[in-house]
Every structure is written in structure tokens, then in C-alpha cells.
Amino acid sequence: MAAIHESGGKAVLQIEHGGRRVPFAVSEMSPITPYPRLIGGEMPREMSFEGIKSLQEDFVRASLKAKSSGFDAIEIYMCHGYLVHQLLSPLSNKRVDEYGGEVDGRAKSAIDTLRLVKEAVDRDFPVSCRISAEEKATGEIKSVLTG
């Protein structure tokens, strides 16, 4: 980190969770997803409501750790089939609770995560997010912004 700062650079940490993309061999847990279906690899388990809340807390802890480690900003990764993107996507999120359904429900976890992270790291610490505005998936292609 010192070398980056000494040369005038800024260090930004990208924080993500792979969700169903993370095999047991890597995490020693079965993969998780908002709604289980097999898309190659191992059959993931469905995230519980508590699991979504725990995921949000994990993003907060990781963000605070990044800040205390000297990073200048963070980016929450919400795209390319990773877990938060799986929650945003109408193709992978078939939940029927408050984290599913129309775009407002599917976006709830992402919005809540960003709010909680921003509250934890403070107003002046830069927090960004990266999302996929359009899915290039087999079958239906839909915008995660318009549903």
C-alpha cells in the first residue's frame, strides 16, 4: 500500500461474493444462490432471509477492514453473475419474499448493502458499485434496471 501512495496512486479494493460460482473445493461450503437451480457444477443451496442479512453484514465488515487497512475507496461488485448480481437478476432470482419479485424487491439487498456500508465507513470514504445493466445470458436478455 505504501508504494502505491508514495507514487501518488490510490488503492481501491473490489469486494464481492461469488455465490453459486464458488465450489465447495474453494469455500468448504456448498455454493449459495438466491434461488437454486443447476447451471453446471454443484447444485447450490438457497440463501435464507438470515443469509441475506448475514451477507450484508459481511460486506460491511469487509469494507471496514479495507478502510482500516489503508485503502482509499471500495467498490462493491454486483455484476457478472456474482452473488449480488444473482439477487438483482430476474433470471436467477425467483424468490417470493421481499428480496424477489419485481425490480424493487430484487434490488433491495443491493441497496440495503450499499446503505449499510456507507453508514459504516463514513460519509467521506468513497464507495462505488459495479452492476451489469444488461445480461448476456442464454435465453431471455433483460435489463436488471428495468426488470
Query: Among all residues, which ones are annotated catalytic?
Result: 82
**Residue 94: φ, ψ to 5°:** -110, 25
Q: Residue holding cell 455454493?
A: 31
CA distances (Å), origin 118, targets 87, 112, 122 = 20, 10, 6
Q: How far is CA 67 from the centre of its chain?
A: 18
For residues 36 and 22, give the distance between their C-alpha atoms in angstroms, rounded to a whole number.
14
Of 144, 117, 119, residue with least CA distance to 133: 144
